[in-house]
Structure 1
Amino acid sequence: MPRYITVTSLLNKTKKRDPWFLDDYTINPYSGCAFNCLYCYIRGSKYGINMAEKLSVKENALAILRRQLAARARKQQQGFVVLSSVTDAYLPIEEKEQLTRGVLELLLEYRFPVHIITKSPLVLRDLDLLRRINESAILPPDMAQYQHKVFITFSFSTIDPVIGKQFEPGAPDPAKRLLAMQACADAGFMTGVSLMPLLPFITDVPEQLARMYAAFQQHGARYVFPASITLWGEGEADSKQLVLQAVAQYYPQHLTNYQRLFTHNNSVPAAYNSALQAAAAAEATRYALPAQIPFV
């Protein structure tokens, strides 16, 4: 069962807009996560190995958010709100709690544009609200060239169901995510892919990249953000240890490579990352899937 907690703030102003996600603000209605991805950067002793056990619902979130949005709206400070930056806004508990839907109702009321990043097809439930936000939200002045006021980005590290179960055991099946993305595209939304983290020697190899970019294009994506993995921590609940254990179990042929990459570093070397970005850029060109959200 989740915990119910109170918070003093929900709307977080970002210091600098990310060139991929275009975030002016972030909102996380929940903390902890039922998807339990091994590579998650928020992992650690605070949440434990099974992050679902620390799942929390911010029960006063909507009252707090209304005050914060009203204050920003009075100053005409509408900007893109990212749902979510830390924990997926469409966890299974959202079906019952409907906290994310309540957030969207407030964003609609105060005319804030929104960028949803999710692994869950549950976002389809809220296309009615997102359509209204897309019609009435106020864009920040320096983003007036954008014709969409709602972006829906689906998060993938793989489209292979076996690899998915190995590294993101609680997340919805990748095939269901692809179908949800297609539904969003068919409904007229600007939709694409956060392709991160790519798993070295497993999902970042050329044949995997080609398969993924082809599938993303076929299912309505308009953009893809590719990035390699960053692993943190030496504790048993940290992402570095959990991913290395999974590699040892499922891909022992790559364990030495992972140890070489991550024993003394958190990120892949610059040369490795440059090669990955070049390979991804080639697929992006081939399938007309830029690494940025198009204006139109």
Structure 2
Amino acid sequence: MTLSWAELDQIVGGVPASAVRHYPQWWHGDRSHVRAWKSAGYTAVRIRPGRSVTFRRSGGNPAAHGTGRRQEKPTAVSTTSNGDLRTLQEIDPRDALLVIPCSGKKRTHGSAESSEAASWPSELLAARACNRAAAKMDEQQLMPAWYRYNGWFYTTAEASLRDAVFTGAPLAILSGGYGLLHPEEPTGHYNKAMRLTDWPTGLLEELLMAEADRRNVSAVVAFAAAKTDYAKLVRRTPWRSAGLMAYLVTINGVSKGAQREVPRRLGHAFTCFWQRQPAGRYPEGTTVERLA
């Protein structure tokens, strides 16, 4: 449902100037107007300040009720095989769960709003609390997760990522400080890369599968540097047991400046996938792993 700015103004009795001046923060977080449309069953998915707002009817969140008993032992790493980039062209990015890593570089400003972390099960909240000190977590100033990060992946893929978020595409962010994030979840500033040993065995894997189930997707496409714990988490998640086809996009063959070049190329690959560009447009070294 899309409302013009004039229609929205009439419904709410006057849209304040802060809706434009403090975009995107005004549209997210624990605010009275956000709670109002969420309680009515809607989520703002595409905001064009001063022009229009698109709302999508939102469903329940199974993750809020937990995901059941986890295995006591770590999930085995799935076997993989290199796929063809043309495989990605057969997948509609709007019907797949897109999994991306956080970045070390982050924006430092935000707004003083309380977090919506309660939408996750208590096990994740407890694990986040245990990691707060090590992550140097500062939640005095919050902003949506997708906008908090501005490393090379995010700056390269910014336009496509923004479009994915505002159109309500299934998207999950792997985070060293939060474990797993919804893209619009209010997020503080921290300094911690993903380490799987920091999180309860099997928890993040189950939450990823629960997110895929919640969004009713049939495929998962993740983007991560090949040797990081972000990639390891995606590889060891038992996607096939949930009836899902899963793919991991990595970058190979970078010998110089890898800390910049790998995330930059991954951001480029994300853009190519989101825009459904032909295989020849993907950056050099792009590799697709099909996960069993």
Q: Same fold (TM over 0.5)?
A: no
TM-score (norm 1): 0.29
TM-score, structure 2 normalization = 0.29
